[in-house]
Chain A
Amino acid sequence: MRSKMRMEIKPQRPCMVTGLPGAAGVAKLSADYLVKQLNGELFEELYSDAFPPHVLIKKDGTVELLRNELYYCKNVKSKSDLIVFTGNTQAVSSEGQYEIANETLARARRLGVVKLFATAAYVVEKPAEKPVVHGAASDTSLIEELKEYGVAPMDTGSITGTNGLLFGLAVLQDIPSVCLLSETPAYTTATGRFVVDAKAAKALLEVLTKMLGVEIDMKPLDEEAKLSEEFTRRMEEIEQRTIDEVRKAAASRSPKEQMYT
């Protein structure tokens, strides 16, 4: 892994929020949205041979390597400054994921991070009217705090990838940590790409911003959330229609021919 430092920072009692691309883009969208709304400044870039071996050609024709990024959000009208860890990829190999997570946490310790908030998706079968935000924490007092913000505490389950490792390794390294997971059906397109679920990200950010004590404009995300909701509704419709048609076709066959019921 290599890093490119863009500027030195001296944050005051910072909290760290982490969110890399994962199921339904919930974690990444949450992190990106925070950075945008709080005018975060990119201060360090992380590059790794464990990232997928391709680059991105952007719309303006410039090339960009896959990377993870650390942003500094200063004076966010709370007791703490904020550091946000995000990026356009996750490492592919297990070794790479551990390395990136450990390197990020080493930076968290060096910068005096007082609390880490990891974000992730909580995949459910059906889209929820209002996505529930589930949570886990490094100690019982933080679990009690989560309950005060309406978060449903989790005691089982797993969180795969770097988003999960960041929380797990932070716990192991005695960094006070919280993991927030927002419910999403995590629909994918025919080519296997996740459909970004802004509604889930919005639910997560409503809790996260309260816990951080920061205020952000949610209107642009509201618009995105409405689009996500509409998309999800249509996906559900298509799914249901397909099931109905298959059942109808199966029912019209003789019992001997029936394969699906």
Chain B
Amino acid sequence: MTELVGIVASRGMRSIGIIAIDYLIKKLQPKLIDEVYSTHFPVIHETQPSYAAHPDYPGIPGIWLQKVGAALPKIEFYLSDSPRLLLTRGYHANFQGQYEVAEQVLDICEKHSVERLFVLAGYGVGEGEVCCAATDIGLVEELKTRNIGTGYEGPFMGFSGLVLGLAKLRGIKGVCLFGRSKPSVEDPEYPDPQAARKVLEALSGILDLSLDLSGFDEKQPAQPELRVIGS
């Protein structure tokens, strides 16, 4: 059986990671195999962006109403048999839960014998359309041969950064593909589908996924209006 590759993303800078993972889930129709819930998942984050966790702002717990029933904030794990991928749709915990949740994600990856992780995210400075970071210099060099160079230096905040950093500590090989976007001061997580597409193209090339991106919607969605109905 071929190696199971882990793909991890969450909301983050310009929502690039979550757009990319949602497209993979939509396109590959993988099976939902696991979910992680946490008391540290707020339904409303008190920091902006949501991934800039602060100990004094734990966020507000709650639920989202659905057509039928309700949903809690969660992390979802999807298994795709062809190509062999474990897709993790992440969620930003508050300050108290960030490390714990990232460790749980890696526990599940290890349970499924994932040896290689790809984290999808965004960056707002430097050159190029997609740049990389990795758990070891050998992986960085390998990506350079595919014309994906380094281009971002500095902190990588929140869920996806911690998954990558803790993966390194566990000896799991990991790569992050950052799509370049223009930072938005008003809403740092305002979606940038074009940047997400570039990340997916890079991922598809590296993993030889032959990903069909014809149905990818590059239109920037309107800002969703947050409706707090009850408290």
Docked pose: A63 CA to B152 CA in angstroms? 11
Give residues of chain B (100-133) contacting chain A, Cβ–Cβ below 8 Å.
100, 132-133
Is A253 part of the contact surface with B, judged by Cβ < 8 Å? no
Given contact pairs A54-B158, A57-B152, A92-B95, a sample of 13 additional A-B residue pairs in the complex whose CB atoms are under 8 Å apart: A47-B169, A49-B99, A51-B99, A53-B161, A53-B162, A54-B162, A55-B164, A60-B140, A60-B150, A61-B132, A62-B137, A65-B162, A65-B168
Interface 1/0s, chain B 34-71, versus A by CB < 8 A? Answer: 00000000000000000001010000000000000000
B136 near A62: Cβ-Cβ < 8 Å: yes
Is A210 part of the contact surface with B, judged by Cβ < 8 Å? no
Is B156 part of the contact surface with A, judged by Cβ < 8 Å? yes
Closest to A62 in B: B137
Nearest first, the 5 closest Cβ-Cβ pairs linking A and B are A61-B150, A53-B98, A55-B165, A49-B99, A65-B165
A61 near B137: Cβ-Cβ < 8 Å: yes
A-B contact pairs, 15 of them (CB 8 A): A49-B99, A51-B99, A53-B53, A53-B157, A54-B155, A54-B156, A54-B158, A54-B162, A55-B156, A55-B162, A58-B153, A61-B137, A62-B137, A63-B134, A65-B168
**Closest CB in chain A relative to B152 CB, distance in Å:** 6
Which of B149, B154, B176 is the one whose CB lies under 8 Å from A56? B154
**Closest CB in chain A relative to B132 CB, distance in Å:** 6
Is B211 part of the contact surface with A, judged by Cβ < 8 Å? no
**Closest CB in chain A relative to B112 CB, distance in Å:** 22
Instruction: Check A55/B169 contact, CB under 8 A, given A62-B135, A63-B176.
Output: no
Is A258 part of the contact surface with B, judged by Cβ < 8 Å? no
Q: In the assembled complex, which residues on chain A have CB atoms less than 8 Å from the CB atom of B53? A: 53
B95 near A63: Cβ-Cβ < 8 Å: no
**Closest CB in chain B relative to A260 CB, distance in Å:** 30
Closest to B143 in A: A61
**Closest CB in chain B relative to A79 CB, distance in Å:** 37
Give residues of chain A (17-59) contacting chain B, Cβ–Cβ below 8 Å.
47, 49, 51, 53-59
How many inter-chain residue pairs (CB < 8 Å) link A and B? 75
Is A217 part of the contact surface with B, judged by Cβ < 8 Å? no
Q: In the assembled complex, which residues on chain A have CB atoms less than 8 Å from the CB atom of B154? A: 56-57
Closest to B155 in A: A54
A56 near B98: Cβ-Cβ < 8 Å: no
Is A8 part of the contact surface with B, judged by Cβ < 8 Å? no
**Closest CB in chain B relative to A132 CB, distance in Å:** 35
Is A93 part of the contact surface with B, judged by Cβ < 8 Å? yes
Total count of chain B residues near the partner, CB < 8 A = 31
**Closest CB in chain A relative to B135 CB, distance in Å:** 6
A64 near B165: Cβ-Cβ < 8 Å: yes
Is A4 part of the contact surface with B, judged by Cβ < 8 Å? yes
Interface majority SS (helix, strand, loop, mixed), chain B: mixed
Q: In the assembled complex, which residues on chain A have CB atoms less than 8 Å from the CB atom of B100? A: 49
Docked pose: A61 CA to B137 CA in angstroms? 7
Is B28 part of the contact surface with A, judged by Cβ < 8 Å? no
Closest to B99 in A: A49
Q: In the assembled complex, which residues on chain A have CB atoms less than 8 Å from the CB atom of B134? A: 61-63
Q: In the assembled complex, which residues on chain A have CB atoms less than 8 Å from the CB atom of B174? A: 63
Q: In the assembled complex, which residues on chain B have CB atoms less than 8 Å from the CB atom of A54? A: 155-158, 161-162
B169 near A63: Cβ-Cβ < 8 Å: no
**Closest CB in chain A relative to B108 CB, distance in Å:** 18
Docked pose: A190 CA to B150 CA in angstroms? 27
Which of A53, A61, A63 is the one whose CB lies under 8 Å from B99? A53
Q: In the assembled complex, which residues on chain A have CB atoms less than 8 Å from the CB atom of B153? A: 57-59
Closest to B167 in A: A63
**Closest CB in chain A relative to B49 CB, distance in Å:** 12
Closest to B94 in A: A53
Give residues of chain B (165-182) contacting chain A, Cβ–Cβ below 8 Å.
165-166, 168-169, 174, 176
Docked pose: A173 CA to B95 CA in angstroms? 31
